[in-house]
Amino acid sequence: MQNQALIEEIKRLKAERRACVLAHYYTIAEIQDLADHVGDSLALARLATKVEEPVVVMCGVHFMAETVKMLAPGKTVLEPAPDAGCSLADSCGAEEFRRFIEAHPGHTVVSYVNTSAAVKALTDIVVTSGNAREIIESLPADEKIIFGPDRNLGSYINKISGREMVLWDGACHVHEQFSLEKILELKERYPDALVLVHPECPAPIRLIADCIGSTAALLAFARRSDARRFIIATESGILHKMRRECEGKEFIPAPPADSTCACNDCNFMKLNTLTRLRDALRDMKPAVELDGATAGAARKPIDRMLDLSARLGL
Ligand code: 13P
Ligand code: SF4
């Protein structure tokens, strides 16, 4: 079936089912264009608490669908791509994380939202890339902290805040892949270009950044900057919104090291296809189901994040 016919069918089913479609910036352009809301992890979590429709479709990865379900337990939460894992979330098993916490008694446990519900259930405060720095800096300076699972985001916050958080040794396979050499070559070719970097990138890439931030923060920076050209070191899906919202500006994807391809895709995010979105709305499945005890325990640190974010004006 042609894309246009699928798109029309999705719009019809969306209205029939009274469904709200949420999508992350890393999904394909066609899904972003169909979605009711497109956002970063923080915005999507906030939206989950406000949706009025009885059905929410989360086009993203599994931990995002879990988070929506925890924040909107009375809704039917559909995930078109239930097989969309996340290498970062997968780098942190709940049992190993429990042992890590036990090995560091007296530490506050701060976890990135890219974690399973089971890991969140072991956590004191959840953070996203959009609020991690501010939330951690708002804790007393002498508070001992474990941060997991992203060693890159963790070391970035340690550096800018002067904290010495104990870091879990996890990383995202997409953000680890960017080539410093290829970005520097692009900089030579386009000396006017600013380099926008997601904090999941390793330190050498962060060192040459003009802006480090969540996907939403990078988009906001591109919108308000007077520069006309940008090199983007995060998943390439974000370029769709950047190009849409910043007319006349040029966005160049930062290339990965081990590929001839110019941009860097998250294979998990790209599992959200128009066909799967149509099927989910048509069949009302797969729906997220969570163990009640785990979901209850995991929601507490997410609520704490939302409260702290609101209090800090984020
Ligand atoms: P954001 O917090 O910017 O949405 O990033 C989520 C993510 O998965 C990055 O890889
Ligand atoms: Fe996970 Fe990396 Fe994909 Fe983000 S880009 S969803 S951290 S695997």
pLDDT tens for the chain, residues 1 to 314: 679 999 999 999 999 999 999 999 999 999 999 999 999 999 999 999 999 999 999 999 999 999 999 999 999 999 999 999 999 999 999 999 999 999 999 999 999 999 999 999 999 999 999 999 999 999 999 999 999 999 999 999 999 999 999 999 999 999 999 999 999 999 999 999 999 999 999 999 999 999 999 999 999 999 999 999 999 999 999 999 999 999 999 999 999 887 666 668 999 999 999 999 999 999 999 999 999 999 999 999 999 999 999 999 99
Cβ atoms within 10 Å, residue 162: 9
State which amino acid sits at residue 268.
F
DSSP code for 299: H
Nearest-CA residue for atom 4 of ligand 1: 40
Cα–Cα distance for residue pair 80/142, rounded to 1 Å: 44
87 CB less than 6 Å from ligand 1?
Answer: no
Nearest-CA residue for atom 8 of ligand 1: 114
Q: How many CA atoms lie within 13 A of 163 on its CB side?
A: 29
CB crowding 205-230: b at 16 or more within 10 Å, else e: bbeebeebbbbbbbbebbeeeeeeeb
Cβ atoms within 10 Å, residue 137: 14
CA of residue 5 to ligand 2 center, whole Å: 30
Peptide bond preceding 253 in cis form (omega within 30 of 0): no
Select from 266, 288, 303 the least CA-distant residue to 127: 303
State which amino acid sits at residue 115.
T
Q: What angle do CA 213, 168, 47 make, to 5 degrees?
A: 45
CA of residue 174 to ligand 2 center, whole Å: 7
264 CB less than 6 Å from ligand 1?
Answer: no
What SS3 state is found at 178? strand
Nearest-CA residue for atom 3 of ligand 2: 266
Select from 124, 130, 118 the least CA-distant residue to 302: 124
Q: Long-range CB contacts (< 8 A, 24+ apart) of 49-52?
A: 49/306, 51/20, 51/22, 51/75, 52/20
- The H or E element spanning position 28 is none
Cβ atoms within 10 Å, residue 263: 15
236 CB less than 6 Å from ligand 1?
Answer: no
CA of residue 68 to ligand 2 center, whole Å: 17
CA of residue 8 to ligand 2 center, whole Å: 29
| Token reading at 190 | 């386009």
114 CB less than 6 Å from ligand 1?
Answer: yes
Pairing mode, if any, of strands 250-253 and 229-233? parallel
Q: How many CA atoms lie within 13 A of 265 on its CB side?
A: 14
Nearest-CA residue for atom 1 of ligand 2: 86
153 CB less than 6 Å from ligand 2?
Answer: no
* Residue in 44, 87, 270 to alter for ligand 2 test, most ligand atoms within 8 A of Cβ: 87
pLDDT, residue 262, reads 61
Peptide bond preceding 286 in cis form (omega within 30 of 0): yes
CA of residue 214 to ligand 1 center, whole Å: 6
269 CB less than 6 Å from ligand 2?
Answer: yes
Task: Give the ligand at the shortest distance from the Cα of 238.
Answer: 1
The atom number, within ligand 2, closest to the CA of 268 reads 3
Task: Give the ligand at the shortest distance from the Cα of 265.
Answer: 2
- Alpha helix stretches (DSSP H) within the chain: 3-17, 29-34, 41-48, 62-71, 87-90, 94-102, 117-120, 132-138, 151-161, 180-189, 203-207, 215-224, 238-245, 274-283, 292-311
